[in-house]
Amino acid sequence: MISIRNLSITYETSARSVPAVRDVSLNIPAGKITAIVGESGGGKSSLVYGVLRLLPPEASLSGSILYGGLDVVSASDARVRDFRWEKAALVTQGAMNSLTPVISVGKQIAEVLEVRMGMKRREAADRVGELLEMTGLPAGIARRYPHELSGGQKQRVVIAMAMACSPDFILADEPTSALDVITQAEVIRTLAGMVREKGMGLLLVTHDLPLAASICDRLAVMHRGQIVETGSPRDILDFPSHPHTRALLSAYKVLGGGLS
Amino acid sequence: MRSYWARRAAGAVLVLLLVIAANFFLFRIMPGDAVSSIVDPRFSPEAKERMRELFGLDLPLHSQFFIYVRRMLTFDFGLSFLSQRPVWDEIRSRIPNTIALLGSALLLSSVIGTWLGVHAARKRGGFVEKLVLISGSVSFSFPSFFVQLVLLLLFAYTFPVFPLRGTVSIPMPQGTLNLVLDYIMHMVLPAGSLVLLGFGSWAIYVRNLMVKTLGKDFILLARAKGLSEERILWNHAFRSALPPVLTIFLLALPGIVSGAVITETVFSLHGVGKFLLDSILGHDYPAAGAAFYILGLLTIFSNLVADAAYSIADPRIRVGRRAER
Amino acid sequence: MKSMPRWSFAAFLFILAAGLFGPLLFANGPQSTVAKPFAPPAWMGGEAPPPLSASLSPEQPSLSIDWKWTAPENISIRGTVLFDDSPANASLVWKTPDGKTFILGSFSGSGEWSVDIDARDVAFKTDLGVAPFQSALGLLFPSQGNIRISIEGTSPSSGSLDVTVPGGKWGLLGTDQRGRDVLSLFIAGIRVSLLVGIAATLLASLLGLSIGLASGYLGGVIDSLIMRAVDVLLSIPVLPILMVIVGIWGKGLWQLILILGLFSWMGTARTVRSLALTLRETGYVENLRSIGASPFYILYRHLLPEVLPVLLATISLGVPGAILAEAGLSFLGLSDPRVISWGRMLHEAHGFGAFTAGAWWLILPPGLGISIICLVFLDMGRAIEEMADPRLLKGGRR
């Protein structure tokens, strides 16, 4: 379990300091899907990147992020680096610029295997093929460069990469927001399926409440840097207690989204 | 890939033709008619007749141009007015010096500039970044010959560490090793000054591109993968920034070749650029035209080399666009 | 962060004023000889004598010089005096500290006496009894002490004889290989740099503006042709072309400006074109056209005002290039030798043995002058760029 205790994240610029996350406490249980929903700019992404300590230098963190005996907020760089990917891997908006444009996607996945798992080149290449096939891509795509792939393919590559070290947790930041609706559904089904199959924990951050509710075990609503409501998706959809949750829900109702 | 090379090759041929055409017409708008100005009074009547034939001066202009193109392509530049020797013989002995000067200067300044630029981008506001910003504005506003004159004054006059001029000592040192060492000693100041002048702009470009690249999403993902900073910096960021770096290098090439003329003049190097200047000052038109042409060829050739490097560095060119995103 | 007034604008005005009025500060033109060749600046000359000049005239028929140095390089006495009372009988007498006297010249008759003595003339040496290869100055300045020069005999009624001893040190920045005042040359050089830099860049910008606007506005085949030409011109080394053209066409200042202008419009054309393209895409040009505005009207009243601030920045950023090109050509000796410019000064320093004399004062002032003027224009250009596009200020390009 990753447990976030009283985490605050503030961006200090020369002129002023902007709080992004305010005193958030949240447990991310292993083997379960936890979703955080909320409006854009509400601090969801800061929270995810904060868990991996990947925030820009002008961000300051307080509180603690505990995993086993490790506190990510105060640990040394080397220990945080070990925590990254092997314990908690990141899935970003792969459709955009998440992949290095000048390295073939296979090499980018193999890189993790070689550097983090100490695999030999051959062994890593075979594993890359398996990983790609697990996400529903042909193994031959490993030789391709990002510019040759479609958005959905790139997103699957990013998911395959996250699976590479069989981490305990996957942190997904808006993994589908740049894709068309059909691809979105396919990709999220792939991700949720793989996570359940391997018994990994998933933290899914999205602004898409229906999407989150359809797959998660626990739902948290974030508003202006604070978690305003947590519970099972059923409870939150049926009995929203916070005005922001109600606002989110009604927005989807207006748009005619079926919430079931 | 193929269309990229076709375009590049067509571009190179176009520039080559333009250089030849510029040469052809430039040396025909000289004061006086073509015959009297090209045929120097110092030549004997037979030599004049030979040159008339060689230049095809009695033929119509377009045939003259074709003859001229053929002569340029076969390095047949005629006789020098000044030395009365074939111009190609004169130039051939100077090309290695010019290439050694520019090649070593380019190699060193790109290596130093890249290293500094990458590290400046990595630690914003640090010492390296300040150094890069200062050396960059120095190389943009200090005239090269001024910096070179000061270096000459310092290291050849005040502290006579390096020779004042030329490529070989007089008398010539004995033995191959001594000759090579002597050559290197003569090249240290010219090439070193070009490095000193060049690494700053190189570093600034690399830094700016790296700052931009380090802000990209894929760097964040690479960091999330738990890779070492060195690996992220070089394998991911620098390799991605390399194609635009090469583009800028391509744009800087003509300026670098221009720099050869000045550098060779300051240090009295036996090179093509100094030969061009001496020929212009001595009204030795066949020699000047040939030197200009060779400098043009040098630029075109290095352009092609940089293009090749670009196509290797950027998979978007190497493998083309099989699918739009 | 508030944008503070840039230092470069003040510096530019100062340089402009120095270029316009600076030469007025010097009594003699920059071409006149003031001291011995390669004389170091006065403040570092040490033991060397300062330059001396004095006149013998009816009011002052004798001069007394307190000489405290070793013999100078030269002495010259030149001028004309008139005698009313005829017949006159006068002589020019030199008395050394150890009491010897020399008659440097004498006159008998009436009317005008012209004197033109240079201590290096062989005739003068023979008169004094010195071998032609030896220096007469050791005889005239044998030791330290009081030297007296006087017109003896009949007193002249008018006119004067100028006695000049060129110094071994001079002024703030010493002298060049011809004994000219480097400070005066330096000040005179500002004009050329400013004139060539600004005039050539204006010409280039005008060309670039019209070509860029045409290219961006008309688009199509013309656009791709123009851009192809720009690419080609940008991939040829410009300095050799300039050298060849100047070598063939002549070295005049105006020719140089014209040539520089003709070969540096490409960057501006590119910038203006891309700006015109973005403006075209914003749609309001489209709207203007749909309500029947003529292309000329659109170009003139709508595109030009948008492009102008950017153009001003481009001009300022382009001036250093032109200044450096002019300096480079002059340094290579491809400039009018009669026109004093900083590049020319460096050319002469390089060609006429500034190194063997260790004369740094011939190299540093013009070189630093070029660099500073370039830095000033670069900084002004950046400032204008930021004013024209406030996003740059916040974006923090540097």
Reported confidence tier of residue B118, pLDDT bands at 50, 70, 90: very high
The reported pLDDT for the residue numbered A253 is: 67
CA distance B230 to chain A (A): 13
Q: Does A147 touch chain B (CB under 8 A)?
A: yes
**Chain C residues 336-365 with CB within 8 Å of chain B:** 343, 346, 349-350, 354-356, 358, 360, 363-364
Is the Cβ–Cβ distance between A142 and A57 less than 8 Å?
no
Contact B280 C243 (CB under 8 A): yes
Tokens of B264: 């060779």
Walk me through the domains of chain B, giving residue ranges and CATH numbers. Answer: 93-283 (1.10.3720.10)
> Among positive and negative, which fits the CA dihedral B55, B56, B62, B63?
negative
In this predicted model, what pLDDT tens digit does every residue of B291-306 receive, in sequence order?
999 999 988 888 888 8
* Among C281, C276, C278, C269, residue whose Cα is nearest residue C303: C276
CA distance C235 to chain B (A): 6
For residue A104, pLDDT over 90 is answered with yes
Calculate the alpha carbon distances from C261 to B251, C238, C327 in Å.
Answer: 20, 12, 15
Is the Cβ–Cβ distance between A211 and A258 less than 8 Å?
no
Q: Which residues of A touch B121 (CB under 8 A)?
A: none
Compute the average pLDDT of residues B216-232: 90
For residue B30, pLDDT over 80 is answered with no
Contact B231 A115 (CB under 8 A): yes
For residue C305, pLDDT over 60 is answered with yes
Contact C320 B15 (CB under 8 A): no
For residue B37, pLDDT over 80 is answered with no
Please report, in angstroms and rounded to a whole number, the separation of the first and last CA atoms in chain B.
19
The reported pLDDT for the residue numbered B322 is: 44
Give the C-alpha separation, A128 to A150, whole Å.
19
Disruptive mutation site among A102, A112, A165 for chain B (greatest number of B CBs within 10 Å): A102
The reported pLDDT for the residue numbered B236 is: 93
Q: Smallest Cβ distance to B146: which of C240, C243, C367?
A: C367
List the Cα angle B304/B310/B312 in 5-degree steps.
110
Q: Does A252 touch chain B (CB under 8 A)?
A: no
> Helix H segments across B42-126?
45-55, 61-73, 87-92, 95-122
Is the Cβ–Cβ distance between C375 and C356 less than 8 Å?
no
Tell me the sheet residues that pair with C259.
none
The reported pLDDT for the residue numbered A177 is: 78
Range of the domain at A138: 2-254
Contact A54 B226 (CB under 8 A): no
The reported pLDDT for the residue numbered B324 is: 35
HSE, side-chain direction, 13 A CA sphere, residue A66: 11
Q: Which residues of A touch B221 (CB under 8 A)?
A: 90, 92, 98-99, 158
CA–centroid distance for A164 within its chain: 15
Q: Smallest Cβ distance to B137: which of C327, C332, C375?
A: C375
Q: Which residues of C touch B280 (CB under 8 A)?
A: 243-244, 246-247, 334
The reported pLDDT for the residue numbered B323 is: 38
For residue C381, pLDDT over 80 is answered with yes
Q: Which residues of B touch A90 (CB under 8 A)?
A: 221, 224
Chains touching C, CB cut-off 8 Å, 3+ pairs: B
Contact B149 C358 (CB under 8 A): no
Q: What is the CATH number of the domain that holds A140?
A: 3.40.50.300
Pick the CATH number of C182-394 from 1.10.150.120, 1.10.3720.10, 1.20.1430.10, 3.30.420.10: 1.10.3720.10
The reported pLDDT for the residue numbered B34 is: 43
Question: How many domains are there within chain A?
Answer: 1
Q: Smallest Cβ distance to B226: which of A81, A93, A101?
A: A81
For residue C243, pLDDT over 80 is answered with yes
CATH topology of domain C52-165: Jelly Rolls (2.60.120)
Q: Considering only CB atoms, which residues of chain B are within 8 Å of chain A?
A: 216-218, 220-228, 231, 235-236, 239-240, 242-243, 313-316, 319, 321-323, 325
For residue C273, pLDDT over 60 is answered with yes
CA distance B176 to chain C (A): 31
Give the C-alpha separation, C217 to C212, whole Å.
8
Q: Which residues of B touch A51 (CB under 8 A)?
A: none
Higher model confidence: residue B319 or residue B103?
Answer: B103
CA distance A245 to chain B (A): 30
Higher model confidence: residue B136 or residue A47?
Answer: A47
Instruction: Specify the amino acid at residue B298.
Output: L
Contact A103 B322 (CB under 8 A): no
* Among C102, C85, C86, residue whose Cα is nearest residue C94: C102
Disruptive mutation site among B122, B225, B317, B319 for chain A (greatest number of A CBs within 10 Å): B225
Reported confidence tier of residue C394, pLDDT bands at 50, 70, 90: very low
Give the C-alpha separation, C307 to C137, whole Å.
69
* Among B272, B204, B223, C28, residue whose Cα is nearest residue A84: B223
Q: Which residues of A touch B228 (CB under 8 A)?
A: 81, 115
Is the Cβ–Cβ distance between A155 and A187 less than 8 Å?
yes
For chain B, the C-alpha Rg in angstroms (whole number) is 24
Q: Could you tell me if residue A184 is inside a domain?
A: yes
Q: For the whole model, what pTM was predicted?
A: 0.80
Calculate the alpha carbon distances from B42 to B39, B77, B78, B275, C148 in Å.
Answer: 8, 18, 15, 20, 59
Give the C-alpha separation, B203 to B138, whole Å.
12
For residue B277, pLDDT over 90 is answered with yes
Disruptive mutation site among C7, C227, C355, C380 for chain B (greatest number of B CBs within 10 Å): C355
For residue A257, pLDDT over 60 is answered with no
Contact B323 A92 (CB under 8 A): no
The reported pLDDT for the residue numbered B40 is: 56
The reported pLDDT for the residue numbered A33 is: 93
In this predicted model, what pLDDT tens digit does every residue of C335-372 receive, in sequence order?
888 889 999 999 999 888 787 777 888 899 999 999 99
Reported confidence tier of residue C181, pLDDT bands at 50, 70, 90: confident
Compute the average pLDDT of residues B3-32: 79
Instruction: Specify the amino acid at residue B37.
Output: S
The reported pLDDT for the residue numbered B35 is: 45
Lookup result for tokens 């492009």 = C307
Q: Smallest Cβ distance to A54: which of B220, B231, B313?
A: B220
Give the C-alpha separation, A207 to A38, whole Å.
5
In this structure, chain A runs to a length of: 260
Q: Could you tell me if residue A166 is inside a domain?
A: yes
Higher model confidence: residue B291 or residue C249?
Answer: B291
- Say if residue B316 is exposed, middle or buried (CB neighbours under 10 Å; 0-12, 13-18, 19+): middle
The reported pLDDT for the residue numbered B49 is: 67
List the Cα angle C231/C236/C238 in 5-degree steps.
115
* Among A62, A51, A53, A45, residue whose Cα is nearest residue A10: A62
For C46-77, the DSSP string reads TTSPPPEEEEE-SS--EEEEEE-SS--S--EE
In percent, how much of chain C has pLDDT > 70? 95
Comparing B20-29, B198-207, C1-10, C322-331, the range with the smallest average pLDDT is C1-10
In this predicted model, what pLDDT tens digit does every residue of A125-178 receive, in sequence order?
999 999 999 998 999 999 999 989 988 899 999 999 999 989 999 999 888 877
Average pLDDT of the residues of chain B: 83
Q: Which residues of B touch A102 (CB under 8 A)?
A: 239-240, 242-243, 313-315
For A92-120, the DSSP string reads --TTSS-S-TTS-HHHHHHHHHHHHH---
Least CA distance to A163: which residue of chain B? B225
Least CA distance to B123: which residue of chain A? A57
Residue B71: strand, helix, or coil: helix
CA distance C88 to chain B (A): 57
Lookup result for tokens 């060129």 = C166
Q: How many CB pairs under 8 A join B and C?
A: 139
Compute the average pLDDT of residues B238-253: 86
Comparing B162-171, C40-49, C241-250, C384-393, the range with the smallest average pLDDT is C384-393
ipTM of predicted complex:
0.86
**Chain A residues 183-212 with CB within 8 Å of chain B:** none
The residues spanned by each domain of chain C are 52-165, 182-394
Q: Could you tell me if residue A52 is inside a domain?
A: yes
Compute the average pLDDT of residues C135-144: 83
Q: Which residues of B touch A86 (CB under 8 A)?
A: 226
Calculate the alpha carbon distances from B242 to A13, A103, C89, C219 in Å.
Answer: 31, 12, 90, 31
Q: Which residues of B touch A95 (CB under 8 A)?
A: 325
Contact A116 B226 (CB under 8 A): yes
Give the C-alpha separation, C395 to C393, whole Å.
6
Q: Smallest Cβ distance to A99: which of B218, B321, B323?
A: B218
Compute the average pLDDT of residues A201-218: 89
Chains touching B, CB cut-off 8 Å, 3+ pairs: A, C
Give the C-alpha separation, B303 to B306, whole Å.
5
For residue B24, pLDDT over 60 is answered with yes
In this predicted model, what pLDDT tens digit does every residue of C71-125 receive, in sequence order?
887 888 888 888 876 778 888 888 888 888 888 888 888 888 888 888 888 888 8
The reported pLDDT for the residue numbered C344 is: 92
For residue C396, pLDDT over 70 is answered with no
Q: Could you tell me if residue A259 is inside a domain?
A: no
Helix, strand, coil % in chain C, rounded to nearest 5: 55, 20, 30
Q: Could you tell me if residue A187 is inside a domain?
A: yes
The reported pLDDT for the residue numbered B1 is: 60
The angle, 0 to 180 degrees and rounded to 10, between the axes of the packed helices B239-266 and B285-313 is 160
The reported pLDDT for the residue numbered B320 is: 55
Tell me the sheet residues that pair with C76.
C118, C164
Q: Which residues of B touch A144 (CB under 8 A)?
A: 322
Compute the average pLDDT of residues B190-217: 90
Chains touching A, CB cut-off 8 Å, 3+ pairs: B
Residue A26: strand, helix, or coil: strand
Give the C-alpha separation, C166 to B214, whole Å.
64
